[in-house]
Amino acid sequence: MCAVSAIDHRPETPATDVAVTESVRELFLGDLTDLPHEKRAEALARRFLLSYAGHTRAAYTRDLADWFGWCAALEIDPLSANRAMVDGYARHLETRRSPATIARRLSAIAGFYRYGVAEGVLSASPAEHIKRPKTSNDSQTLGMDRGEARAFLAAARDHSSRAAALVTLLLHDGLRISEALGADVTDLSHSRGHRILTITRKGGARRDVVLNPATSQALDAYLDARTDGPVFVTSTGNRWHRSEAFRLIRRLGASAGIEHGDKLSPHSLRHTFVTLAREAGVPLEDVQDAAGHADPRTTRRYDRGRHNLDRHPAYALGAFLAE
């Protein structure tokens, strides 16, 4: 049986070493039909995953590994799977994973088989008409209201300058934790009178985010005139790891006395950014751009205040018609 293993460890650029070069040529140019049948699924998966980067690629790698493991347990080659197998796998997941995770996993599987059809390895996809579970229109990630966000910021300031800088950046700019921790000091600059930080978005795109005075001051206090290296570092000068930041957020939630503080994550601050920005009157399209969402529906899922009756358009329309 094949397995999706070490996909991200294969070299992605040619090298002078002959063995490495042949490995790369096989990945990019080899005819999959020339491979032994038991190796074709893994080789196809490697090529399919080249279309993705960052966290999406990592998630799809895990998803395909789980699917291949399911196939292996049934002693069936993934390229010989039928729709009934995919349906059975989906039922298997229902007792173990959330609807959102199942939907993403089935999306990865469907994409893999669609790619196989396009490459001529398969004549049809067993996942083409698979029904995916409906997911809630509201994100399940916990956020904070205005008062809780203020208390959380205060707890961060009391903790350390590093905590204050990270929390202020995440809350005021809605960055993903990977975007914040992946930034270097040299990514800080000025543009047309604005202090900016250039970050790497999902997919590798480089984008400028504006730092308001509070965020700029918090970063300057933390950096203390440091001019190189990662923005956020450990005591030994290495780049701060997201797992450490995750634990910090939980500790700060407890210190701030937030009811669900033990369930907060760095992503909770991103949700809070969207909700509070909308409450502050920022147009949806501007919040979407700031959050780096390709689809406005994603931004709306993050906005926990969108069901607030105070924001119902009936009030604005009534005032408009009464003028």
Exposure on the CB side of residue 263, measured as CA atoms within 13 A: 7
Residue range 46-58: average pLDDT?
86
Provide the 8-state DSSP code for 123.
S
pLDDT at 218: 96
Are the beta carbons of 165 and 218 closer than 8 angstroms? yes
> Is residue 6 predicted with pLDDT exceeding 50?
no
pLDDT at 26: 61
Q: Residue 100 has which token pair?
A: 């959102």
Q: Residue 84 has which token pair?
A: 């009934």
> Is residue 306 predicted with pLDDT exceeding 60?
no
pLDDT at 8: 46
Amino acid at site 259: E
- Nearest Cα residue to 154 out of 164, 166, 165: 164
d(CA 142, CA 69): 32
Q: How many helical (H) and strand (E) elements, i.e. helices and strands, does the chain have?
A: 14, 3
- Nearest Cα residue to 266 out of 179, 199, 198, 184: 179
Question: Residues near 172 by Cβ (< 8 Å), separated by ≥ 6?
Answer: 211, 212, 214, 215, 273
Q: Residue 193 has which token pair?
A: 């009178």
Provide the 8-state DSSP code for 151.
H
Provide the 8-state DSSP code for 176.
-
pLDDT at 9: 43
CB atoms within 10 A of CB 51: 11
Residue range 161-169: average pLDDT?
96
Strands 194-200 and 206-210: antiparallel
pLDDT band at 1 (very low <50, low <70, confident <90, very high): very low
Tell me the pTM. Answer: 0.62
Question: Residues near 130 by Cβ (< 8 Å), separated by ≥ 6?
Answer: 83, 86, 87, 90, 106, 109, 110
Provide the 8-state DSSP code for 121.
S
pLDDT at 7: 47
Burial of 94 (0-12, 13-18, 19+ CB in 10 A): exposed
d(CA 266, CA 258): 15
Summarize pLDDT for 94-125 with one digit per residue, the tens: 988 888 889 899 999 999 999 999 988 899 99
3-17, 92-106, 222-236, 238-252: the lowest-pLDDT one: 3-17
Summarize pLDDT for 122-137 with one digit per residue, the tens: 999 999 988 887 765 5
How far from 34 is each of 28, 64, 203, CA to CA, in Å? 14, 22, 32
Residues in the chain: 323
- Mean pLDDT (the chain, rounded): 84
Domains in the chain, CATH or no CATH each:
7-118 (no CATH), 146-307 (1.10.443.10)
Residue range 282-286: average pLDDT?
81
pLDDT at 203: 73
d(CA 20, CA 24): 6
Question: Residues near 56 by Cβ (< 8 Å), separated by ≥ 6?
Answer: 202, 203
